[in-house]
Amino acid sequence: MQRYLSNKLLWAVIILLGLLIVLVLALLITNRQAASQGTSVTAGEQPELMQLLDPDDPDNPYRGQYTAYDYWVFEHVVIPGTEEQEKHPSEMTPEEIRAQFAKTNKPANWMDTGATVYEGKYLVPFQVAIRDHHEALKNHTTDTRAQKTTAVRVKGVLDPELKATFRKQANRIDAGFYPPIPTWLAENPPRQAMLLPNGYILTQGLLGAWAETAGKGFGVEEEYEIAHGYYDLDGNLIREQQHGWLGLADGTTKEQQPPGHAIWIRDGYWKFIDDGTGALIAIWDYDGTPLASEEDAVPRDPHNFTWLSGLQIMDYYEAMHE
């Protein structure tokens, strides 16, 4: 009996030692992963909080590029880790729900938006961030700095005049990457429009649809039933159809198009994919021109094939004519 108890005790000690080894290894692995991300984790400690460098600091690479809006952002950034994660209503007590509801009653001119921080300490000026985004899209490149950036939340009361100035500055940069917007389109915008390289325009909803549908939500079936239009340079409606815009620019019907599932590529190409095998059946240009192979679908500026909302159309038109 004593020998049995001794063996049992020995096995218990061995199991405990094994669990301790696993725990130590897990902690070492966690520390190594954290170190590769520039932070270290020790039991009982929290990762170091982000510390933003002052916009006017001589060591700030963006010094001299900040606008009044950027200074407001700097003062209202929510540093990651300093704000409690909001719970789902199902996890809240009645008191927490009432407190959360009170938070939704924001003061006038409340702004809840985002910003970008480079290398954990440099606030990226909003004009730089917008321009870099468009340049990367246009040139099919990846901003190497993107791997070292952190998205942060910005919350606070923003002066209406400062907000208006910020919007104008942002619209001016955005508009510079799109083709000219004709007056007839800006004065009577559809729900969305695509400014094609040939000067013609695809629309989701016909002219005037923006005024009728602004702020209205659509289900999948309603989206499918919305009329799409194809307009020439003078605003004359050439064709309209429901069920998407495939065939609008070239006038082809379903029977005249390749079989398979059609996928729109951001560079303005249609790929026709076999539903069973996933193989490429054919590839067409936006105007219905068949391409010999996928290699002929050369990269080009996606801005010519991007849907703009009615609001963007009006804002960008104004920015183009300032």
For residue 115, the SS3 value is strand
Q: Which residue has the tokens 């690479």?
A: 61
**Residues 280-318 pLDDT 10s:** 999 999 999 999 999 999 999 999 999 999 999 999 999
How many residues are given for the chain? 322
Task: Please report, for the chain, how many H helices and E strands are present, in that order.
Answer: 9, 13
Reading the block at residue 284, the tokens are 């067409």
Cα of first residue to Cα of last residue in the chain, in angstroms, is 97
pLDDT of residue 39: 38
Asked if the model's pLDDT at residue 6 lies above 60, the reply is no
Q: How far apart are CA 62 and CA 115, in angstroms?
A: 14
Asked if the model's pLDDT at residue 147 lies above 80, the reply is no
Spatial CB neighbours of 49, under 8 Å, sequence gap ≥ 6: 79, 80, 81, 82
Reading the block at residue 304, the tokens are 């010519």
Q: Which residue has the tokens 């500055």?
A: 169
Residue pair 88/96 in contact (Cβ under 8 Å)? The answer is no
Spatial CB neighbours of 110, under 8 Å, sequence gap ≥ 6: 155, 156, 157, 158
Q: How far apart are CA 251 and CA 231, in angstroms?
A: 13
Reading the block at residue 6, the tokens are 């001794």
Asked if the model's pLDDT at residue 127 lies above 60, the reply is yes
Least confident of 92-106, 196-210, 222-236: 92-106
For residue 2, what is the enclosing H or E element?
Answer: helix 2-36
Q: How far apart are CA 179 and CA 195, in angstroms?
A: 7
User: Which of the given ranges, 10-14, 53-57, 74-78, 232-236, has the highest pLDDT on average?
Assistant: 232-236
The C-alpha R_g of the chain, in whole angstroms, comes to: 28
Q: How far apart are CA 300 and CA 50, in angstroms?
A: 38
How many CA atoms, within 13 angstroms, populate the side-chain half-sphere of residue 279?
3
Q: Of the candidates 215, 133, 184, which has an alpha carbon nearest to the alpha carbon of residue 314?
A: 184
Asked if the model's pLDDT at residue 214 lies above 60, the reply is yes
**Residues 28-38 pLDDT 10s:** 444 444 333 43
